[in-house]
Amino acid sequence: MMKATSWSALAAAAIVLAACGGSDDPVAPPQATPARPPVAQVPQVTKVDVLATSASGIESIAYKDGQAYLGLSNSSSAGSSVLRTALPLKAGATWSAMPLGACGVAAAADTPLRAPTLRVLGATLWLFQPWYDGGTAAADEHALCALDTSAGAGAGASAFVARDAGLKACYGEFCSTLSMTDLKQNGNVLYSNAGGAPNLLASNDGGNKWTAVLGQLDTMMCYHQSFEVVGDRVLVGGECPLDMAYVRAYRLRGDGLGLASEQALPVTLPDLENRNVQFISRIGTSQRVFIGVEGGLLRSDDGGQSFKFVIEQPLSGGTSYPYIGRLLAMPDKPDTIVAGGFDKATGKPYLAWSADGGAKWTDISALLPGYANAAGRTSAAMVTSLGLDPQGRIVVTVNEEEHAKGSVLLLTLGTP
């Protein structure tokens, strides 16, 4: 960076006073200090640095009590796992495996690959994952677990324990566990989409007992819906029946455990066509809400009462069709937003950022592992999580293949 030139102050002219009377010499006027030349600003370059890699897929990363926790998918030869390391995150750090017990998922010989999602809500580190009805091999699996430190002092004595007893639906002797794809907390109430759309379940006792805000405590036929609580309203969105995308809003009761009315509130939307909803996210405590849909991104500035597209790709014929499933706004600069997912048109990971609240976007996907050499892959590479570490740095997790070849990246945003 160019340095500013150092300038010394000019010496003032000496004024000699006569012993009697004044001097006949005029007093020299003060001289102005010369202006400093401007300092040249070096543009900051957007870049990513690799902090860790894994042969398994990395679903998410979470931080609690001076530790970072990493959720890894199972594979054909190894079970799922959670690794941890001391903060701050750095390249070359040593990661150690956590005891998972029944909260782990075994190696996938004949079952789908699955990965745990880690999320800190309040004082609890939660783990949730797809539950697979695979008969006796999956009989002891759990869809929801929590980190328990009661076994002893310090992070070294902690382990994950099952917390999904309240999510079992039984018919006679046959029982199934309702799994979720999202878990959020508003006040002291947990919300989950367990069981699939149109379900929205709530718990005010730490997940021991759940009540149905929408739908019922049962397995549903449609994909899990997305949701977000904004004040006394809840927004839900998904695709049910197939190829019928929707976004709806309802008024919540004062306790948050039910609806004040089953009548949906008006929401002004552009035509969603068959674009399934990927996520709904409120920016902090503001009235700005984003909805990720297949091939686009919607924004609201009035708390989710009306939305417009800020990213929109055509349903067919375009060169890009991003599925945006992750969003991060900087707490100290809420107009600086990062969005991630994957591009269905190319099979490449998708990452973009905006410096003006989402009006304009810069695509930085080419910086990611898995962006090059996409031809020949059997699954899309994707951004699986976006977040800030306790040091305020942007951390991105990416899988080069579905549930495989994961990376933890440190993202530095450049000058807009």
Task: State pLDDT tens for residues 46-98.
Answer: 999 999 999 999 999 999 999 999 999 999 999 999 999 999 999 999 999 99
366 three-class SS: helix
Residue 170: predicted pLDDT:
86
The pair of structure tokens assigned to 204 is 């005010």
pTM: 0.86
357-364 contacts at long range (C-beta below 8 A, 24 or more positions apart): 357/288, 357/299, 358/290, 358/297, 358/299, 358/310, 359/310, 361/310, 361/311, 362/46, 362/416, 364/46
Label residue 85 exposed, middle or buried (CB < 10 Å: 0-12, 13-18, 19+). Answer: middle
Average pLDDT, the chain: 88
Q: How far is CA 303 from CA 146, 201, 245, 335, in A?
A: 31, 22, 20, 16
Report residue 17's pLDDT band, with 50, 70 and 90 as the boundaries: very low
Distance CA 252, CA 191 (A): 12
Structure tokens at 113: 């690959």
What digits encode the pLDDT tens for the residues 139-198?
578 999 999 877 554 445 688 999 999 999 888 888 889 999 999 999 999 999 999 999
Measured distance CA(52)–CA(50) in Å, rounded = 6
Residue-level pLDDT at 42: 60
pLDDT higher for 410 or 31? 410
Indicate the length of the chain as a whole number: 416
**End-to-end CA separation in angstroms for the chain:** 18
**314: preceding bond cis by omega (within 30 degrees):** no
Closest CA to 216 of 265, 183, 167, 175: 167
Residue 326's alpha-carbon distances to 56, 261, 297, 350, 357, in angstroms, are 20, 30, 11, 10, 15
Q: Is 110 exposed, middle or buried (0-12, 13-18, 19+ CB in 10 A)?
A: exposed
E runs forming strands in 252-363: 277-282, 289-293, 296-300, 308-312, 322-330, 333-343, 348-354, 362-363
Q: How far apart are CA 219 and CA 199, in angstroms?
A: 9
Q: Express each pLDDT in 105-151 by its tens digit.
A: 989 877 789 999 999 999 999 999 987 765 445 557 899 999 987 75
